[in-house]
Amino acid sequence: SLPRKHTAAACGTARNAAMTSTLKPYVEAVRATIEASMCLENFASQNVERHNKPEVEVRSSEEVLLTPMHISRNAKERVLVEGSINSMRISIGIKQADEVEVILCHKFVRFLMQRAEHFVILRRKPVEGYDVSFLITNFHTEQMYKHKLVDFVIQFMEDIDKEISEMKLTLNARARICAEEFLKQFS
Amino acid sequence: MSKSTLSTAHRKVDVDLYDADRFVDDVLEEEAGDNASAVSSKETEVRGMLNKGDNKGALVRALKDAPLRAKDQSVKDKAHKVVMDVLMAFKATDIKGAVDALSQSDVDTLMKYIYRGMAQPDDGNSAQLLQWHQKVVAAGGVGSIIRVMTERHTV
């Protein structure tokens, strides 16, 4: 059979080996930052009467916007948290170690973003320079528990990494099986 | 008809600029720590302390009189570089002791520098900064993060 370069063990550990020591502080930092930003209150639009717009998206006036905060684990994996008085935006840059993961990540995240209504807080387009974005408004925090929203975002971040690893493993396994079958005819 | 009715220049005027209620940020005076010479002297003092091995003292000196209101971005960049050098000089075990020795306002200033440092991950400081972030949140709480978000004068 073909040399098994891409076994489950090799892929899994290669992805996780160098980085597990910064994972916990990274996740904790993101959690603390999101908890701090999720202080939202209702704020009607100052420009158009009877309208209520998420100020972090509209960016109509400087006085309602807060300083954006970056949390980064390395140059590729980072989170940007932008806050305002009635809404906040969380943009996540997902780790993509090689070209296969770039494609997998892009397709997976696009699949999720096309179904953004079901996620409620997911944004249909990621912010420039990031892979996924969430938009949380004061209406969301009024209807849903804040600590649950934070847990959801953190869980989402962790699960995306797991899903992409899994997809890459199955992809490599399928490719190996196909190649084996194809080359059998020449042996 | 007079010529002026043909002109559409009035459509190009940005009416929002002339709105009386428009928010204009306060322009505050520069304080003592905000000019280039203060930052240069801070840099030399901090380097001296780092060379002697006095990391804690270097941290306190670097955070004192942060150039929050400097008009010149290069002054802020220089101060940021000094603080980053101090933060990287610490060993992971010493961080907690250093943070516990800081005053509340120094903790807030430190948190601002940490977030600014993480905004530039290409410098390779992220792992150490995450360690600092963990300890500073333990000392300053969520409030220190909120003060980073809400203060208009960034570091």
- Quick one: DSSP state of residue B74? H
Band of the pLDDT at A187, cuts 50, 70, 90? Answer: confident
Distance from CA of A25 to the nearest CA of B (A): 6
Within 8 A of A73 by CB-CB distance, chain B residues are: 121, 126-127, 130
Reported ipTM: 0.86
With a cut of 80, say whether residue A9 has pLDDT above it: no
Q: Which of A21, A36, A74 sits opposite B149 (nearest CB)?
A: A36
CB atoms within 10 A of CB A170: 11
For CA atoms B148, B150, B151, B155, the dihedral sign is: positive
- Cα–Cα dist B127/B92, whole Å: 10
Identity at B43, one-letter amino acid code: E
Asked if residue A66 has pLDDT above 90, the reply is yes
- Mean pLDDT score of chain B: 89
List, in order, residues 6 or more apart from B59 with CB less than 8 Å away. Answer: B86, B87, B90, B98, B102, B110
pLDDT at B22: 82
pLDDT band at A19 (very low <50, low <70, confident <90, very high): low
Predicted confidence at residue B110, as pLDDT, reads 95
Give me the count of residues in chain A. 187
Tell me the whole-structure pTM to 2 decimals: 0.87
Which residue in B80, B75, B87 sits closest to B40, CA to CA?
B75
Helix, coil or strand: residue A95: coil
Residue range A114-126, pLDDT digits in tens: 999 999 999 999 9
**Hey, of B14, B145, B151, which one would you mutate to test binding to chain A, going by the most A CBs within 10 A of its CB?**
B145
pLDDT top residue among B37 and A148 = A148
Asked if A39 contacts B147 with a C-beta cutoff of 8 angstroms, the reply is no
Provide the pLDDT for residue A5: 46
Residue A10 has pLDDT above 70, yes or no: no
Residue at A40: amino acid letter: L
pLDDT at A92 over 70: yes
The yes-or-no verdict on residue A11 having pLDDT over 90 is: no
- A93 touches B: beta carbon within 8 Å: no
Confidence at residue A37, expressed as pLDDT on a 0 to 100 scale = 95
First to last CA, chain B: 58
Residues of A in contact with B131 (CB under 8 A): 25
Average pLDDT over residues B77-88: 93
